[in-house]
Structure 1
Amino acid sequence: MEGKSYFEHRTDVKVPSASVIKVPILMSLMEKAQLNEINLSKVHRLTNAEKAGGSGVLMNASEGKKLTIREIAQEMIRTSDNTATNILIREIGMETINQNLTKWGATKTRLNRVMMDVEAVKQGRENYVNALEINALLRMIYDKKVANPILCDEMISMLKNCEDETTIPSQLPKDLEIAHKTGTLAYVRGDAAIVFTTQPFVMSIFIEGFDKEATAEKIIGDLAKICWEGLK
């Protein structure tokens, strides 16, 4: 992945991140693991108080369920689990995540609230991403420039296991490896991915102002297919 840019559109804007913000949360977790500040094998007991709605499976899990930090991170990516995400934000620290984003060169991508915090949204505190910055973060993972190579490979494996295939993967070959994280809000649909063709490439697409979610998903799928056909 040589860093060549093939197409850009509105790259100066920041958009509500939805769950794509979970990429830098995952990266920050692995940085902490690398520094031995977090043990990925540590067991966490789920409480009802920390359950969050929206996406994921942990909101329906029984109180007291035991999960390792690694399993919680896997669920944050696989089913975009909001309960898992909020547990990890507390473990890592929101300030640490934003400090890492600054260290990694991101100026527009920021974590300003936990998942499903309706009051924070009403107050104007939203999470934001920028397409170029998310691409840069994914390239850091691919190039093994965050945490260490073993942890970068683990992040890629988690991202390959993302269950939502209605966007970038939707029109691509089923056997094509795609490490990605999707995001969904009523007002934005996004996906950011490393696509493992013979010339691996990263892409981030965010659609705003759509009438139906399916319309946004088709646009993302169409654009991904165009990119794949040009770079396969």
Structure 2
Amino acid sequence: MQKLKNKFNLAVWLVMIVMIIPAFFVLPQKSKEGSAEAKVKEVKQNQSSYHTEIPSRAVTLTTIPVYKDENLQQKSGELPEQKQLDIIKLKNNVFELANHTYIKADTKNIVSDTLLSKQIKKTTVYTAQRSEVYYNPFTTYDKEVYTTLPKGQQFSTNQIAETYWGTYYEVNFNGGQTGWINSENLNLENPKMLQVQDMLRKKYNDSKYSIYVKQLDDSFTVGVNQDKKMYAASLSKLPILYWTQKRLNEGKAALNDNLQYNTAINTFKGSFEAGGTGILPVIANNANYSLSEIIDRTAKNSDNVGSNLLAYYETGQFSPAFRSGIESIAGQAWDPVEREASAEMVGRILEALYKEGGYSFNALFDTQFDDTKIQAGVPKNVRVAHKIGAADAYNHDAAIVFSSEPYILVVETKGGSDDVISQISKDVYEVLK
């Protein structure tokens, strides 16, 4: 009897367990409260596209319908874009206007006509057409024209601002006056440089040329095959001159330093072969030469021994710091052993040397090669700082031409003559002068 009772109790427990287990596997259902929260969220999202207060300096961004009644059922017409609004009341996502008509209080179509942003912006711009100059960045509440400026004029900028109606640059003109011009009326690219680009493509777009042009006061560049690497020959002395001047400016070297010309000078990895156009002895003589003299010999005579002396003592035989420093300026590695570089790489280093200034840059004036190549293509009264390079079929020149608007010109050629380089120089000067 006891056994039967135990079996009965066990059966009861099993039935209860079987009834309870499914409850653990039933997926939770969204509560009525959860559904209500979702609806509230949806309502809030819808409301976020409507104004919650009357905007200051209200204006229409687009054409919008106008209604006679606050329920927006009886349409009475439309308001155009850029229409200033006199709003007297906001109720139920509807604006009542001063003339007792009604419009949707839609944030997409009605805004506060104020500046969206303003920041410092120093650059050079050019008028693409006759342009109105505003006292302030254009809004419908502030659109007074100060003056107009002709097409093709160059200006420096101070600030840039965004409004709902466009981007505006603050420019300097007439020796100190300032005003704002719509960016649609401006070019960031110098029209003259665009003419140079067109000329180069028509006359010199050949794989044997790598040409790079840049105005000193502008970031815009043009050229043909300007990123094509060639054996740079003595243009590879420019990074060495740059690094030397950098050390001078940092106080790590002095012009009266003495550099000893020993046998190691012409034998370290990356050194030029002694000889060429230089005037220093081909064979080491253990003599001391001042740093200023070595800079002159390297820049003015393209002296290989002079370059080796600078590379040995000033660059630390092309130390990792030198290599990484040059790469950061040139935009890519310039191997001092292989000596391959594009016209753009050379131009960047030349510009960096110009910015360092000092003795090493000044040594690029009045060189042994001033009657050839780039300088021969410009009038004699135009000053040119340049460095030539030539080896076998490779013939190059890299210069800063100090015309009324100074510019950098680098011409690398494989098989091009001095006269070809002079003609390229002349063609560029005739546009940029």
TM-score by length of 2: 0.45
1:89-100 matches, cutoff 5 A? 89-91=311-313, 92-93=315-316, 94-95=318-319, 96-100=321-325
Instruction: Say whether the 8 Å CA contact 2:229–2:341 is kept in structure 1.
Output: yes
Deviation at 1:77, TM superposition (A): 0.6
Give the unaligned 5+ runs of structure 1: 113-125, 147-151
Whole-Å Cα distance in 2 between the matches of residues 90 and 180 of structure 1? 23
Determine whether 1:164 maps to 2:379: no
Q: In the alignment, which residue of structure 1 is the partner of 2:412? A: 206
Instruction: Say whether the 8 Å CA contact 2:299–2:360 is kept in structure 1.
Output: no
Q: Which amino acid aligns with 1:190?
A: H
- Which residue of 288, 292, 308 maps to 1:70? 292
Deviation at 1:5, TM superposition (A): 4.1
Q: Which amino acid aligns with 1:138?
A: L
Deviations 1:153-205 (A, max 9, x none): 32331111321132111232222210000001002100000000001000100
Question: Which of structures 1 and 2 has the larger relative contact order (alpha carbons within 8 angstroms, sep 6+)?
Answer: 1
Q: Which amino acid aligns with 2:278?
A: G
**More helix per residue: 1 or 2?**
1
Whole-Å Cα distance in 2 between the matches of residues 19 and 107 of structure 1? 18
Q: In the alignment, which residue of structure 1 is the partner of 2:386? A: 180
Determine whether 1:29 maps to 2:244: yes
Deviation at 1:39, TM superposition (A): 2.7
Whole-Å Cα distance in 2 between the matches of residues 108 and 15 of structure 1? 13
Instruction: Say whether the 8 Å CA contact 1:42–1:69 is kept in structure 2.
Output: yes
Instruction: Say whether the 8 Å CA contact 2:234–2:390 is kept in structure 1.
Output: yes
1:1-232 matches, cutoff 5 A? 1-5=216-220, 7-47=222-262, 50=265, 52-59=274-281, 63-91=285-313, 92-93=315-316, 94-95=318-319, 96-112=321-337, 126-142=338-354, 144=355, 146=356, 152-165=357-370, 166-208=372-414, 210=415, 216-232=417-433
Instruction: Say whether the 8 Å CA contact 1:101–1:110 is kept in structure 2.
Output: no
Whole-Å Cα distance in 1 between the matches of residues 335 and 405 of structure 2? 30
Higher gyration radius (CA): 2
Q: Which amino acid aligns with 1:186?
A: D
Instruction: Say whether the 8 Å CA contact 1:72–1:84 is kept in structure 2.
Output: yes
Instruction: Say whether the 8 Å CA contact 1:109–1:130 is kept in structure 2.
Output: no
Percent sequence identity is 24
**More strand per residue: 1 or 2?**
2
Deviation at 1:220, TM superposition (A): 0.5
Deviation at 1:64, TM superposition (A): 4.6
Query: How many residues are matched?
Result: 207
